[in-house]
Amino acid sequence: MSNQEFQVLPGPSSVLFARSIAKQLNCEMVDMEFKEFTDGENYFRLISEVVGKRVLVIQSLYPPVDHHLMQLIFISKKLSEEGAFVYAICPYLGYSRQHKEYLTGEVMSLKTLGQLLAFSGVKHMITLDIHNVEGLGLIKFPAFSPSAIPTLAEYVKNCEDVSNSIIVSPDLGSSARAEAFAELVGRPYLIFEKERDRFTGELKMKFTSSNLSGSKAYIVDDMISTGGTIVKAAKVLSSLGVKEMTAVCVHAIMVADAANRIKAAGVSSIIASNTIPTEFSKVDVSKVIADHIKLLG
C-alpha cells in the first residue's frame, strides 16, 4: 500500500497537528462535521466516503482527557462502521501513567482505554513517548511509541547555547531519555533518584554530584503535569550552584498552575513539543509520526 491511500481526519484536539501530518504524507483530509452542544455533548457527522480507506484519526488525549477520549471513540466507531481501517494517532496518550496496579484494587486505566479503542474499531495506534513502554503491552492491537526526544535535542542544539551545560534526568524513569538527549547535544548528564509516596504523592529527591556552580541545566522529562518533579529538581540544582535552568519535555500538560510554580523555582524557560498545544509548544514533532506512518507502507 502507498501513503496515498491514507486519509487524515483531524480530531477536535489536534487540528493543526493533523494538517501538518496530512501535508507531509500528501494525503487527503476526511470531512467530518463537528460541534459541541452547550451541555458538553459532542456531535459528529461523517461527510466523506471512507469505505476501504485507511484513516488516520489525529486526536491527542490531553485534559480534559475523558472529553477528548470520548470524541476519539465516537469518531473511530463511525469510521469503522462505514468500512474504514482506523488508526488512532494520539500524540499524547492520556492515562498512560496508569499501566500498573501499584496499590491493591487500583484500576489499570490504560488497559481499559485500549479495550475501549478496540471496541470502537481502532486497528492500530501510534503515540509519542508513552510514559512507560510496558503500557504498550496492555493494548491488544498493534501500538507503537516512537520518540520525539531527538527532535527536541536538535532544536535545543540549534537554538540554544549549550556550552557549559549539563543535562539532568529528574528521576530514574527518564534517565534513558536524558541520556539520549545528552548524547545528541554533546553534553554530560546527571540523574536524580525520585521517591514518591504511593499514598500521599509526596516527592523526595536524592542526588549526588560535584559542584555545578555557574553551569546551565536542561531538565529533560517525558511530560510536565503539575510541575512537582521539575520544581524539586530545580531546588536541588540551585543549591549546587546552577545559575540557569530550562525544562524540556515532550508533553506539556501544565495543570495546577505548573508554569508559575516552575518559574518560582528558578526555571527560566520551558521548551516543549506540540503534542499538546500550549504557549510552550516550540517544537513541531509531527514529522516523527509522519515518518513512522511511512514505514507502514
- To which residue does cell 538527549 refer? 181
Cβ density class 245-281: b for 16+ within 10 Å, e for less: bbbbbbbbbbeeebbebbbebbbeebbbbbbbbbebb
Write down the H helix ranges in the chain.
Answer: 15-25, 65-81, 109-119, 149-159, 175-185, 228-239, 258-264, 286-295
Judge contact between 141 and 120, C-beta under 8 A.
Answer: no
Helices (H), 146-285: 149-159, 175-185, 228-239, 258-264
Bond before 64 cis per omega within 30 degrees: yes
Q: One of 77, 194, 216, 232 is an active-site residue; which one?
A: 194
Catalytic site residue 23?
no
Catalytic residues: 194
